[in-house]
Amino acid sequence: MTFGEDWGWGSGVEESKQIMDRYIALGGNFIDTANGYTKGHSEAIIGEHIARHPSRRDRLVIATKFLTNMYRGDPNGGGAGRKSLISACENSLRRLQTDYIDLYWMHFWDRFTPIEETMRALDDLVAAGKVRYIGFSDTPAWKVAQAQTTAVLKGWAPLIALQLEYSLLERTIEGELIPAALELGLGVTPWSPLKGGMLSGKYTRESVKTATPGRGAWVSRAFTEDAFKVLDVLTFVAQEAGTTVARAALASHRRSSARGQSISWRITWARSRSS
């Protein structure tokens, strides 16, 4: 989302390429973007860089999203309807300089389009070889269940994953979306696992008084006392484990690990104490 400076913040073209090179060199193979990120520039940066090394394409899983209206004032310029969806896919393929998208996400739920229309259009893209797999981002559990059931009954390409905001400061998905994913056999890709940087360890009660995050309220709205109470415990756990605050925060997602369960339990305990 931060590839390109078209929104007034983010990484320039060369820095973005360096980030990709470093990530791939360390074994990373999943690159996730969206047509709306930096007005399409993010996709273009990724596409131009990967196209320089064609052998990399098959080693990488490239995901992008549709739904954002790229043509303000045009009612067909965005959304999950067939016309917009197929056009968005063609444009993403062009910007990414690839013949196929490994994982194509619906960015969020379009309540104005019947889910059957969206799923059938996605199935057509899969059948055409332009998309390998499909998923939903930021969509209610009941709508995910409806979409998946419809796809299974009609023999269309099913959803394989959900992309959801998830961090120690945002755990609402544990109520319905995680159980739905488990029941329906869907993977889960968390976004903002460090809550916009709040759980990175770089913010303190003092520093936020003068902090001016590039993303503005997207980050600063997390500067609350409740958040700092969580950060206090997380900092203690990180020191106890001899690691960084960011690594401790990310480890909390690993439910199967003893350390992750410990961190999650301590945070819950801290919240109960503070209340």
Angle (CA) 217 222 224, round 5°: 120
Q: Which of 54, 17, 43 is nearest to 96 (CA)?
A: 43
Instruction: Determine the Cα–Cα distance for residues 234 and 260; give it in Å rounded to an integer.
Output: 11
Q: Is 37 a catalytic residue?
A: yes
Catalytic site residue from 23, 37, 100, 104: 37
Token pair 């596409």 in the structure block, residue: 47
Instruction: Determine the Cα–Cα distance for residues 10 and 193; give it in Å rounded to an integer.
Output: 18
The first and second tokens of residue 202, run together, are: 């770089």
Q: What amino acid positions are annotated as catalytic residues? A: 37
